[in-house]
Amino acid sequence: MTTMAVAGRRYDLDSRRVQQALQDELPEPIREHFVVINGRRWPPKQVLALVTGLDRADFTTHQARRALTRLGFTAARAAGHKDRHASDSSAGPPQPARGQGPARPEPLAEALRPFIGQWVAVRGDEVLVAAGSPKEVVAWLAQHQQRAQSMFRVPESGQAISGAAPQ
């Protein structure tokens, strides 16, 4: 259990409580920063608001990232977003939070592993949303004005995801 102050209030948080708070939620679209929780990428402000009950206007993205990395979650910057202080114009891979180790691009098969048996909407190698039914996926895409390149149900077998032949 970690005690931290957010928006002038003290909270006792732990990683298990955060994971439980997100069980029945779907992540919103990633704009610039994300944290990885339960194998999914989440906007840090969405997570901290769900866990604390605070309004998102009460804290910054960086405060949310800092709080969640203190709990052991990996934080990074989405591809295509560069640090405003960076001098070169190329957008590199997601950058991890300090002390979190290097970010590694995931092949789509690895990105799909946490969603076995669920319906997913995918753009490139990014899983935009995963839910129990195609109707939920389509509703999420419409609500967040997102377009996917494909939508499908992830097979029940991990071997089918990785393309391994059955033994």
- What residue segments make up the domains of the chain, in order of their start? 1-104, 106-167
The mean of the pLDDT values for the chain is 80
The secondary element (H helix, E strand) that includes residue 62 is: helix 61-70
Which positions ≥6 away from 163 have C-beta within 8 Å? 109
Pair of tokens at residue 38: 């339960």
Residue 42: its pLDDT value, please? 94
Which of 12-16, 20-24, 113-117 shows the lowest mean pLDDT across its residues? Answer: 113-117
Distance CA 138, CA 98 (A): 36
CA-wise closest residue to 26 among 113, 142, 166? 142
Residue 38: its pLDDT value, please? 85
What tens digit of pLDDT does each residue of 24-83 get? 899 999 989 999 998 889 999 999 999 999 999 999 999 999 999 999 999 999 876 554
- Flag whether pLDDT at 94 surpasses 50: no
What predicted TM-score, i.e. pTM, was given to this entire model? Answer: 0.64
